[in-house]
Structure 1
């Protein structure tokens, strides 16, 4: 009995002990973990599991050797990736700055390259959703997608790019050096020295003891550059941006500006190359060597993409002299600064490569520079240049007005011929030319001033959107003489690429051109326009200004300002000349005297008259044959 009671007491006691233990566990248990704690615990558990697995596969070394082993593994990995440059394979990116009154240049120790160029005196133009213009500081080379470096082929055949290395910077005044350690006193170094009051950088790349590191004594420069949108007319800015280059014995050349393009020059020695936009560029000029195996590439982007254009360059830089000396220019396309290099670097300014480019470089640009010394407003400079050109061409304008007055004096005789020949236009044309020949009047004399002005117009067509002197310069309602002026922004785009705006300078030019055409045609006798070719010319003179309205609507307002003022001066010169300088009675007497002079043979009038007679004869024979068939 006592044994049973003892067993029962033991069971009850054990049960109470288990109950107390259970209650203690429940009472002292931590609260349920949060989601973050759960994730952290899971991560720790996974890490512990991975560490345990690693420990199983790789038994831990003796105490004190763990850190050394980790460093050895890391160094081995860097050596496998960077070879002798393993000491520069890891590090912390640092930024250094060189600046003067014009520019602030930020450098990165990652690659020892230029990270950003801040232009202190220039702004970029962008628009908000409402179409309002916004101005922000202009920067070059700032895109994070950009990449610049030298590909090195090591003695082992391994390829290493400096863009992946961490350089040690050393700054001394306006000079900064970046050194990539290759061990045992060997290194690759890049040195930049910013010139005062200039956008020019003296640049050197080379090193010490590289003969035992590099498999070949050359570096391959590789540059990828995403251009930023800086201008108001981005479509035109895109077509004026490209990779330019110049060999030692040829003129400067460039990749196609309007499509994707690649230019490879093989072993041709290249003196310089440049990534150039409409008004800015970054250029590399070789001093004690020439680039080899040059390749330039351009890739177009659409307006919807954030970048303007992609430019790429690859070139071999020899280190035969131990150090390659170059000059970097990164800044505005200022003609005089670029010309000062003495290597035709100014050819990157898109003034044109034909005779019109020469007119811009050596005639128009110097004239603008001269006038700008005395006049601060570029709009007034354009007006003064227009006035100067019209004064120089006035002798031709006078001859044009004189020719028109002579034709007007012959009008009664022309009317008599019209009554005589009626609807026979062929006969009328022949007789009219005989009359002009008899009185020595050139019916096309009024075209000469226009023809002589055309080279100037074509040159100015390239000049205004390329000359940085007019960038963001305002005049009247135009805010930028290098781009279009806009008085109305439209919710749609006009046809023929005319843009979504209305240019007032363009409208004024169209109206004044039509009026001047009407006034000039009024002075000519209508019979001179009777044949089909002359009729076509007549209609074209009215049709072309209307068509050019769409073309000029998005063009540089500096050009349309020039054309407007030129038309106004044309009208003024013509009216003043006719009213005050032309004596109609004297002209009539001169015509009669010409009639009595011996007629010269073999001139253009005789040839034209013979051609008209021959054409009249052929038409008569054709009419007879058609009559016989009937």
Structure 2
């Protein structure tokens, strides 16, 4: 898989995590509808086979001939389709209890797609397609020079059953035996439906010297309470070149044409529309446009996605086997199809994604399967993570304790060699070596926690299970919690007050004060970041940044910080004895200590530099 790129929000979140770690270095609810076994259709076509034939009057025959002639003049061979009884804006409905689809005669494409078992934040039904927000069109040139679009032509529907599967054939006819067909097969209990495009007898109609282009467009409908938060996770993802994947990001963007495209996903935060093909498209061009410029005004749609894909003719005919997925952006559901669709979810690139896929997702699923609420599952998961990482925390704190014990001697060396920085550095390194201490020994344990922190930062916003699940005062753990509505909007903060981010910010501030808050000025080195500034900035950034984030994520950070404070208190007052550490250091200093290759090499380099410096002064 091609590694995913950082977007701006991920970088901000990563900065927050990094800032906190640097500091450490310094010391549905919607009731499901039952599946119906009865096929429904909103359209009953009357045909010459089931309607008694009445002799036409001479004037009616003349009118029909005139209509046919007019249609053929405008549409050429496809004029025949415009004269059929199906040439009306009527829909045929398919439903399996999970997904309800309406397919319109005009264009033969899905005019409405509803998630049967889910509701929006305001209790209205979840629609992925509704009121013309989507289109699916084939653009082609005919042998008589006409350029036509299927979205403007009328298909004839035929609904049938194949076992338990519902089969809808939409045919765009040139004659009774020559046509372009869209075939939809909806299976019970599936969000994925089979879809195929094929033609019969149209080799004489298609101009094979011109490309047939498939254009798919979707304006994503708002489904969540926070339109900005939902929009942050709404993006176009595609797979190409034998399994690589990429996405367009958050800003307006047009991607260059990629080769061998195998699927395109128009992903909303918690729901996704995906077109997959067994025969890769030779290339693809994709665009994404942000439709939310003002959250007070632009409240219906989030983004507009378009895909342009060429269709190849074989023997002058079209023949593509595809699939449509309309359903939740849920890891288990997508992963079960074994089509690499889990890459649609932003679980993190590289090691971050692996940690989520093989550790956090299975573990959280296990906890939530028997615990009484998802909020408690988050708390238990946080406790387990912190306990597992407690040895790392211990190592980091032990390093801080050693450095604290050595601080008077380091201060003495700084004063003694204040006019000779090179000598001061040499003597400091010797002291660290003899005492068996190193500033870097506390750095590595903290760095080891970065993959875990960032993986969880990606996990909670992508956890579909949290959608519309409440805990304490939070109504929905997948969205922000609200304890107060503001009569105005604060830039970057919002028009509401969330309590979980406040608690998390207070907890991280207390932790920072507990560790090295009292001695930060003593340790401040010239040219290094102002640690007092970082101590105040990090909680403040967390407060603003997480006010519109999922309350489940803020609950995790609040719980994690509380547990960390507890672990640090236990380590400080029950495990680590600074007097024993001091005695151990003094004992180490008396023992001959063999330098490692790296330390010896560094010392040699510093001694050579000091000698050159002395020669330069002479």
Q: Which TM-score applies when normalising by structure 1?
A: 0.78
Against the structure 1 CA distance between its residues 370 and 291, is the aligned structure 2 distance closer, same or farther, given a 3 Å change threshold? same
Match of 1:381 in 2: 377
Match of 1:70 in 2: 63
Cα distance between partner residues in 2 of 1:286 and 1:154: 25
1:138 paired to 2:158:
no
Name the SS for the 1:252 alignment partner: strand
Name the SS for the 2:115 alignment partner: strand
CA contact (8 A) 1:206 1:319 kept: no
Match of 2:567 in 1: 573
Q: Structure 1: which 5+ residue stretches go unaligned?
A: 1-63, 126-133, 626-630
1:249 pairs with 242, 256, 262, which one? Answer: 242
Equivalent residue runs for 1:7-406 within 5 Å: 66-89=59-82, 91-125=87-121, 134-173=122-161, 174-216=166-208, 219-265=212-258, 268-287=259-278, 289-301=279-291, 302=293, 303=295, 304-305=297-298, 306-320=300-314, 323-406=319-402
**Superposed displacement of residue 618, structure 1:** 11
Query: Greater CA deviation, 110-119 or 407-416?
Result: 407-416
Cα distance between partner residues in 2 of 1:553 and 1:430: 48
Query: Greater CA deviation, 401-410 or 463-472?
Result: 401-410
Name the SS for the 1:465 alignment partner: helix
Cα distance between partner residues in 2 of 1:477 and 1:620: 69
* CA deviation vs aligned residue, 1:82-129 (integer Å, no higher than 9, x gap): 22121222522222211112121122122221111111222222xxxx
**Superposed displacement of residue 559, structure 1:** 2.1
Q: Structure 2: which 5+ residue stretches go unaligned?
A: 1-56
Name the SS for the 2:193 alignment partner: strand
**Superposed displacement of residue 307, structure 1:** 1.9
* CA deviation vs aligned residue, 1:50-100 (integer Å, no higher than 9, x gap): xxxxxxxxxxxxxx8654443333222211222212122252222221111
Name the SS for the 1:111 alignment partner: coil
Match of 1:601 in 2: 595
1:448 paired to 2:440:
no
**Superposed displacement of residue 226, structure 1:** 1.4
Against the structure 1 CA distance between its residues 603 and 617, is the aligned structure 2 distance closer, same or farther, given a 3 Å change threshold? same
**Superposed displacement of residue 435, structure 1:** 3.6
Question: In terms of Rg, which structure is larger?
Answer: 1
The number of residue pairs the alignment matches comes to 547
Cα distance between partner residues in 2 of 1:620 and 1:508: 56
**Superposed displacement of residue 594, structure 1:** 0.8
Match of 1:57 in 2: none
Cα distance between partner residues in 1 of 2:583 and 2:446: 28
Output the aligned Cα RMSD: 3.3
Name the SS for the 1:337 alignment partner: helix
Name the SS for the 2:280 alignment partner: coil
CA contact (8 A) 1:111 1:164 kept: yes
Name the SS for the 1:110 alignment partner: coil
Against the structure 1 CA distance between its residues 435 and 530, is the aligned structure 2 distance closer, same or farther, given a 3 Å change threshold? farther
Query: Greater CA deviation, 230-239 or 536-545?
Result: 536-545
More helix by share: 1
Q: Which TM-score applies when normalising by structure 2?
A: 0.79
**Superposed displacement of residue 458, structure 1:** 1.8
Cα distance between partner residues in 2 of 1:281 and 1:80: 41
**Superposed displacement of residue 140, structure 1:** 0.8
User: Which of structures 1 and 2 has the larger relative contact order (alpha carbons within 8 angstroms, sep 6+)?
Assistant: 2
Against the structure 1 CA distance between its residues 470 and 610, is the aligned structure 2 distance closer, same or farther, given a 3 Å change threshold? farther
**Superposed displacement of residue 293, structure 1:** 3.8
